[in-house]
Chains A and B, each alone.
Chain A
Amino acid sequence: MRPPMHSIWKGFAAVLLLSSLSSPAQQTLPILVDGEPLIEYQAEPIANPKGGDAFKGSHFIHPLKTPSGFVITQIQPNDHKHHFGLWWPWKYIETNGRKVLCWELQRGDGIIQAAESKQLDNGLITSSHYIDRKAKGGPVVLLHETTTLTASAITEVPLTGYNLDLSIAQKSATDQPITVSTHHYSGFSIRATADWNKTNSTVLTSEGKDRHTANGSQARWVRIEGETPNVKTAGLLMMSHPSNQAHPEKLRTWNQQHDGAIFINFNPVADTDWVYQPDKTYTRNYRLFIYDGALSEDNADALWNSYATGS
């Protein structure tokens, strides 16, 4: 069954009605943290992307800022113009014998498009769709996603920072199963600020792996941390919930390529496919702790434990 395309555009229209919440230039929806717009959700395709209209991505977070305002994310770096801050597309999904590339949207194959968004007191509930643009007979929606984004207030313990929780719920849009294909990168990812490189930033995982050893390892959490332009330190702790598929998920990370640019991906399909049965919803949960300062390994572990046990 193929949902009509007009339903997608109806979704965009609904977003446009929220114009009072959107930044006119970027079509983003803010999530306020203690009254400050530290998180911006891209609710419409970006305007004037690098590389032309083929890169008109949406449904990602950028900028993502620490409490002091340091921007942790970047979008469209020259080396990978399809990297969009904090974003979580599958590399490939398969159904009815077609394998659809969803990661490199510029190829014109699959794309994930933001649809509707609903504002919460402390976040957003967004809906989005995976669309097979090359399907025989015209574009077709294959997968629905509902993403709940909620932010905490700023805490001073263990240091100045706040949590951003993501709950990503997906369901086949047709009466057919969807296979999320095995690949060495896919899913929940961040491309970190261009300010960070191999000399001024670090990567540490829950299993003690670093920039050089993290790739392909399993992890409960990953800490990325680096200097800010005024030579202070800021960072992000990415936590994967233990109930996630293939927990502890494998990582795709970079070591020194592109001068040590930081790319981190929690990947539940590193080793095996993940099959979604029709009419069933599949959920993954992640928490980010975004902070100013330097986070110890012990505190990172304690934050993950707190997240994992709901305490």
Chain B
Amino acid sequence: MKRRKFLKQSFVAGSASLILPSLSFGASPKNDTMRLAQIGTGRMGLGDMKNAMAVGTKPSVNARVVAVCDVDSNRVEVGKQNVEKFYRERGESQVEVKSYSDYRDLLARDDIDGVIISTPERWHALIGIAAANAGKHIYLQKPLTYSIAEGQALINAVRANNIVLQTGSQQRSSVYFYQVCTIIRNNWLGKLEKIEVEVPTDKGKMFAEPSDAPANLDYDMWLGPAESTPYIEAGVHPDQDFTRPGWLQREEFCLGMITGWGSHMYDIAQWAMGTDHDSGPVEISAKGDFPDRGIFDVHVGYEGEALYANGVRMTSRNGSAGVRFLTENGWAYCSRGAFKCSDMELLRRRPTADEVSLYKSNNHMADFITSAREGSDPICPVEVGHRSNSICVLHHASMKLGGRNLKWDPQQEVVVGDQEATDVINVPMRSPWII
């Protein structure tokens, strides 16, 4: 292994008195079943959890879900039933799965090695930091955090505790994005000149009045660090089903498609350029439309532009999700399930030994679990998730300031000479949910 390293990393940070559960680990690394918990069992969480359970049955991955957590008791029950059904269908008569309403109780368990966090992003940093401090490996849905400061704090926690974090930017584990980024990174089409990013658009209106929160939802806990605001079902999540939640269109809880899909697409742009771990653009501007849509107040249409220090210009707007790279000799385009290139032969070319070979993953969840076991960074570690999210946040800040051009120092991670913009990106958190 690695077994020793895995155990060490799984039980770090004040857990010295913990005793390994004798049934958790076998005689060889492949028998070291990684025990996972799902935090957030909503629309995305159930999908993430099913992915983890399915991929965990592979001997080379070997993981299982043993706990679920949500502030909505109905939803956590559905999560629990999903786990029980999954393992019963594989012949298990007694399925071990415990439900939690408070993630802190779950994190206090010493027999859980990793958590999958699929909550609204206002909670990402807080739960992520707590999980890191508890020595748990983390699969964290994108966007990594709500604010840039939260992302910085999360990086510190992950590295201080020596745990593995995989950002849920699963496009990196797709051959389409991998190959196009390989082409661009190696300059097979010549020098990169421009990047065109397109992300989907939010739409619709919602005029609804507050009501009492249902008994099954701990609404104050759901709000967490967000400012207290009256409960409106259409602006939280559906009480009776798992269709798209309204919080995705409210700025108190997220920044809209600029982060929802932008974090995917800017991530690919950064990967191709090699600016994904510790850099970013130096100028950002964006104009967004904020029409009156009732309680839905995130942007709809937008157009943005970011400039990198090397002269590459990245434009972005609403459209069909994908990234197009324009170079001195041609172009390459990638989206989910497809890629194209001005030189189709490059879609089959492999890097030679002296060229850049990007990290290769065929399954994002499996990559998380095996990386956690190995104690190595996965394909989209915390710094990468943070840098991709920062671009989204800066575009959003410019939108809120009417399209102002922001000067960004990617080394210091500060907006240069613009206190108003700095105030926009420094979002307050509601006590006691502060980092």
Contacts and interface: CB of A to CB of B under 8 A. Distances in A.
Interface of A: 241-243, 247-248, 283, 285, 298, 302, 305-306, 308-311
17 contacts: A242-B175, A242-B176, A242-B179, A242-B339, A242-B347, A243-B339, A243-B347, A247-B338, A248-B338, A283-B345, A285-B348, A305-B175, A305-B363, A309-B175, A309-B178, A310-B350, A311-B360
Nearest to B338: A247
Contacts of B362: 302, 305-306, 309, 311
Nearest to A247: B338
Across the A-B interface, give the 6 residue pairs with the lowest CB-CB distance, nearest first. Answer: A243-B347, A305-B362, A308-B175, A310-B350, A243-B348, A309-B175
Contacts of A241: 348
B417 interface: no
B344 interface: yes
Interface string B18-58: 00000000000000000000000000000000000010001
A248 B175 CA distance: 13
A163 to B, nearest CB: 16
A163 B350 CA distance: 19
A114 to B, nearest CB: 25
A302 B173 CA distance: 12
A298 B179 contact: no
Nearest to B341: A243
A165 B199 CA distance: 37
Given A283-B345, A311-B360, 11 more contacts: A242-B176, A242-B179, A242-B338, A248-B337, A298-B58, A302-B362, A308-B175, A309-B175, A309-B178, A309-B360, A310-B350
A309 B179 CA distance: 8
Contacts of A309: 175, 178-179, 360, 362
A36 to B, nearest CB: 29
A305 B363 CA distance: 9
Highest count of chain A CB atoms <10 Å: which of B54, B339, B345, B362: B362
A142 to B, nearest CB: 22
Nearest to A281: B345
A308 B363 CA distance: 13
Report the interface size class on chain B: 10 to 19
Highest count of chain A CB atoms <10 Å: which of B179, B339, B348: B348
A167 to B, nearest CB: 9
Nearest to A307: B175
Contacts of B178: 309
Highest count of chain A CB atoms <10 Å: which of B58, B175, B338: B175
A306 B362 CA distance: 8
Given A309-B178, A309-B362, A243 B337 contact: no
A247 B175 CA distance: 13
B33 to A, nearest CB: 18
Contacts of A247: 338
A247 B176 CA distance: 11
Contacts of A298: 54, 58
A242 B335 CA distance: 12
A136 B408 CA distance: 69
Interface in B311-357: 337-339, 344-345, 347-348, 350
Interface in B171-209: 175-176, 178-179
Given A305-B175, A309-B179, A243 B344 contact: yes
Contacts of B175: 242, 305, 308-309
B270 to A, nearest CB: 20
Contacts of B344: 243, 283
B296 to A, nearest CB: 33
Interface in B132-180: 175-176, 178-179
B337 to A, nearest CB: 7
Interface in B270-287: none
Contacts of A248: 337-338
A243 B183 CA distance: 13
Nearest to A302: B362
A310 B347 CA distance: 11
A62 B363 CA distance: 35
A305 B178 CA distance: 11
Nearest to B339: A242
Contacts of A310: 348, 350
A166 to B, nearest CB: 13
A277 to B, nearest CB: 13
A113 to B, nearest CB: 27
A305 B179 CA distance: 12
A217 B223 CA distance: 43
Highest count of chain B CB atoms <10 Å: which of A242, A247, A302, A306: A242
A285 B344 CA distance: 12
A178 B40 CA distance: 55
Contacts of A243: 339, 344, 347-348
Contacts of B339: 242-243
A89 to B, nearest CB: 22
A269 to B, nearest CB: 16
Nearest to A308: B175
A228 to B, nearest CB: 27
A86 B201 CA distance: 45
A306 B350 CA distance: 13
A248 B337 CA distance: 7
A298 B348 CA distance: 23
B189 to A, nearest CB: 15
A248 B176 CA distance: 11
A259 to B, nearest CB: 32
Nearest to A241: B348
A188 to B, nearest CB: 16
Nearest to A246: B338
Contacts of A311: 360, 362
A241 B362 CA distance: 15
A239 to B, nearest CB: 12
A305 B339 CA distance: 15
B228 to A, nearest CB: 44
A283 to B, nearest CB: 7
Contacts of B337: 248
Nearest to B351: A310
A180 to B, nearest CB: 15
A309 B173 CA distance: 10
A306 B175 CA distance: 9
Contacts of B54: 298
Contacts of A305: 175, 362-363
A306 B344 CA distance: 19
B145 to A, nearest CB: 30
Nearest to B350: A310
Contacts of B58: 298
A310 B362 CA distance: 11
